[in-house]
Amino acid sequence: MPRTILVVDDDPDIVDMLKLYLDAEGYTTLAAFDGLAALEQLRSQRVDLALFDIMMPVIDGYQLLRTIRQDYKIPVILVSAKNQELDKITGLKLGADDYVSKPFSPMEVMARIQAQLRRSYEFNEPSEADPVSVTRIGDLVLDHREFMLYIKGKPVSLSVIEYKLLNLFMREPGRVFTKRQMFEHAWDELYLADDNAVMVQISRLRDKIEANPRNPVYIKTIRGLGYRFAKKDELSR
């Protein structure tokens, strides 16, 4: 079954161009020209990935992203002329999986869509080689079948990248992981000193799992090296 991509931009020329490339790659393309129309598409049809602008009428991209992250786990790529580093970090913190600045190459956007779909849906395939369905450390239970985190029994939704990083940490508590190791594991790409991407995801994870993110108990910073996850016996002290 072909994947369905939702493209949202208030510029019809950009929507038409991306639709042309997506159709050529065999995707089903849905189009919307503002955030509200995008939400209507999401609620009425299956969407496998959303790609949208930040500056849009009615509901802007940041508001749309917040709403999507409350109810959906699909990968999201932001495309915007707002190419300042702060805008990129804001989008990633709100839950975007990738960010492309305008003007962009349509072929680059296609490659990023393919990469996000591969990461999001291939890793979701059940593995017969891995019989362990949950990993428990402290108050955290990571369910590998539901791809959901539970904290004291309360479900906490994770993005694809957040799940991959938390799974990496919880499978080997006490081990120090470098930013390169974390990036190449979670993003499945060659590390090019993109420290911000890793730091943003660590910040998001801490916000979700730590009682006090400024004084983390689970994810510890090891200066000059990277990060490590607390062992069970450390949490009981």
Of residues 28 and 119, more confidence is placed in 28
Predicted pLDDT of residue 129: 42
CB-based contacts of 213: which residues, under 8 Å, 6+ apart? 203, 206, 207
Q: Residue 88 — very low, low, confident or very high, per pLDDT cuts 50/70/90?
A: confident
Phi, psi of 45 (to 5 degrees): -140, 155
Query: Any idea where the domains of the chain sit in the sequence?
Result: 4-123, 134-234
Q: Which of 155-159, 218-222, 231-235 has the highest mean pLDDT?
A: 218-222
pLDDT digits (tens, 9 = 90+) for 134-150: 899 989 999 887 788 99
Q: How far apart are CA 220 and CA 200, in angstroms?
A: 15
What is the predicted pLDDT for the residue at 44?
87
Supply the pLDDT for residue 15: 93
pLDDT at 128 > cutoff 60: no
Provide the pLDDT for residue 144: 85
Classified by CATH at the fold level, domain 4-123 comes out as Rossmann fold (3.40.50)
* pLDDT at residue 234 is higher than 90: no
Pairwise CA distance, residues 113 & 100, whole Å: 11
Q: Which 8-state DSSP code applies to residue 211?
A: S
pLDDT at 18: 94
Yes or no: say if 36 and 65 are a contact pair by the CB < 8 Å rule: no
Going by the DSSP 8-state scheme, the letter that residue 76 receives in this structure is E
Q: Taking the CA atoms of the chain, what radius of gyration do you get in angstroms? A: 18
Residue 127, pLDDT above cutoff 70: no
- What is 134-234's CATH number, 1.10.10.10, 1.10.8.590, 2.60.120.10, 3.60.130.10? 1.10.10.10
Q: Pick the closest to residue 67 from 128, 28, 56, 219 (CA basis).
A: 56
Please calculate the CA angle 154-159-160 and round it to the nearest 5 degrees.
125
Predicted confidence band of residue 228 (pLDDT cuts 50, 70, 90): very high
Q: Lowest-confidence range among 49-58, 74-83, 117-126, 168-177?
A: 117-126
pLDDT band at 90 (very low <50, low <70, confident <90, very high): confident
Q: Which two tokens stand for residue 125?
A: 């395939």
Distance CA 237, CA 222 (A): 20
H-state helical runs in 12-77: 12-24, 35-44, 61-71
**Per-residue tokens: 225:** 């090296």
Q: For 96-120, what is each residue's pLDDT tens digit?
A: 888 888 888 899 899 989 888 887 7
What's the distance, Cα to Cα, between the start and end of the chain in Å? 51
Question: What predicted TM-score, i.e. pTM, was given to this entire model?
Answer: 0.60
Edge-first strand listing for the sheet containing 176-178 = 176-178, 226-229, 219-222
Under the banding of pLDDT at 50, 70 and 90, the label for residue 131 is very low
d(CA 81, CA 31): 19
Q: List pLDDT tens digits, range 51-78.
A: 999 888 888 889 999 989 888 888 999 9
Strands 154-156 and 176-178: unpaired
